Structure 1
Amino acid sequence: MARELVWTGFITLDGVMDSPGGPSEGHPSGGWVMRTPFDEAAFSLKGEELEETTALMFGRRSYEAFAPIWRDSEDHAAYRDLPKYIVSSSLDPEELVAGWGPSTVLRSEADVAALKESDGGAIFIHGSGELARRLSRAGLIDRYHLLVFPVLLGTGKRVFPSDEPGEQKLVLRESEAYGNGVVKLIYDVVR
């Protein structure tokens, strides 16, 4: 049985996914996650995901942003020993962050497809918008876990770009709305 590849992320109502942490991440309107009133229940999806995660996957830039922080973060301690897969045509394995569990560089969508056919459970992609778009076009994403924030930005990095042709059908697996306006949406990709 093939492993599921799941993209999980925070997005605005108009589909922008970049820079939830602040402008230093590359978008002048960054920080929208932190400006939304905190509701612990709205983030319960992250704990649910952790129970299912058997490996993590990142694009190079997301890996380089997350690895040095998540490695030492008590909030992300459960991820430390999980296998990490970094999809990059240019990352030298010598550049991998030490002390953050087993890490493997994958060079192509074909490498990701082969990994999906291996034994094991769900692989979660955090952030990594460009990687998610590439893997979606290649038919490799199986599920989307979205926390949709009540914010409209108009511009920014999108996981679901409007300029790409083609229809992708999704089936709603689960949804929930929270008091702070955040909505959890879990969709399975229809093949």
Structure 2
Amino acid sequence: MPPDQPHPDVVDLTAAVSARTDDLVRRLQSPGGPDEDRSGGFEHGGWMGRFVDEVFGEVVDGWFARTDALLFGRHTYDVMASYWPHVTDPKDATAARLNAAPKHVVSRTLTPERATWNNTVEVIGDDVAERIRALKASGEGNLQVHGSWRLIQALTEHGLVDEYHVIQFPTVVGAGKRLFDTGTPAGAFEVSDVRTTGTGAIAIVAAADPLPGGEPRGGRGARHRGVTGARPGS
């Protein structure tokens, strides 16, 4: 890790996830291959492949293009760090952005010495909510979280997510990890963009918006709860 690297300028925190028709609050688990994530006995890895088309690629590439910095839980970091550094085609804009962007990892088990993906600037092991709140307040830009379901749950509980990028796929697998669980604070979403792919997947961009009388959420001048100790990512 580079010594004394400053935090990148970031304010808006975006959570990019996927959902399946059987449960709109379930988060992406093992989309790319059978062995990507078998936790919980999940046996349907690779379920997303049949739904990838040109429009899907345009949507995902557009989301990645907005990335100024990345935030991961341990498992998602390890999965992505095992693949993307090997994608060196200069025409692959997504690979170039992911490999170059500053990266922050939330984990109590990963050591800085093992966080070797290019431009990994810190491993956050404690006071997670307050440290991410400070990171969001350090400037301007877009800090994106991909995968990392536990981390997104914790960020949501502490009102730290400004915007959600969700792709709903027309498939049923009946099991998986949940994005919005029973402890999630009540809230609504202000939808700013919807696109449908040729395979029937629906890509949604939605900002966190409190229910009437609820706690303000997100980072655009909102008042945050003073809670620390968010759970690290898996």
Question: Normalised by the size of structure 1, how large is the TM-score?
Answer: 0.91
Which residue among 101, 111, 128 is the counterpart of 2:119?
A: 101
Identify the residue that residue 35 of structure 1 maps to in structure 2: 50
Paired residues for 1:84-123 under 5 Å = 84-98=103-117, 100-107=118-125, 108-123=128-143
Unaligned 5+ runs, structure 1 = none
SS at match of 1:164: coil
Aligned equivalents of 1:104 and 1:126: distance in 2?
17
What RMSD over aligned residues (CA atoms) do the two structures have, in Å? 1.8
Aligned equivalents of 2:99 and 2:184: distance in 1?
38
Identify the residue that residue 183 of structure 2 maps to in structure 1: 164
SS at match of 1:71: helix
SS at match of 2:82: helix
Aligned equivalents of 2:159 and 2:169: distance in 1?
26
Identify the residue that residue 61 of structure 2 maps to in structure 1: 47
Deviation for aligned residue 1:165: 5.4
Aligned equivalents of 1:43 and 1:128: distance in 2?
21
Asked if the contact 2:155/2:161 (under 8 Å) is kept, the reply is: yes
Task: Name whichever of 89-98 and 124-133 sits farther off.
Answer: 89-98
Asked if the contact 2:13/2:161 (under 8 Å) is kept, the reply is: yes
Deviation for aligned residue 1:77: 2.1
Of the two, which has the highest radius of gyration? 2
Aligned equivalents of 2:101 and 2:112: distance in 1?
17
Matched pairs, number: 188
Which residue among 173, 181, 193 is the counterpart of 1:153?
A: 173
1:78 aligns with 2:86: no
Asked if the contact 2:15/2:152 (under 8 Å) is kept, the reply is: yes
Question: Normalised by the size of structure 2, how large is the TM-score?
Answer: 0.75
Identity across matched positions, percent: 30
Deviation for aligned residue 1:154: 2.1
Asked if the contact 1:42/1:183 (under 8 Å) is kept, the reply is: no
Aligned equivalents of 1:66 and 1:150: distance in 2?
25
1:173 aligns with 2:185: no
* Deviation sequence 1:128-157 (CA, Å, 0-9, x none): 011100110011111100111111222110
Q: Which runs of 4+ in 1 moved over 6 A?
A: none
Asked if the contact 1:81/1:102 (under 8 Å) is kept, the reply is: no
Pick closer, same or farther for the CA change 1:71–1:103 going to 2, 3 Å.
farther
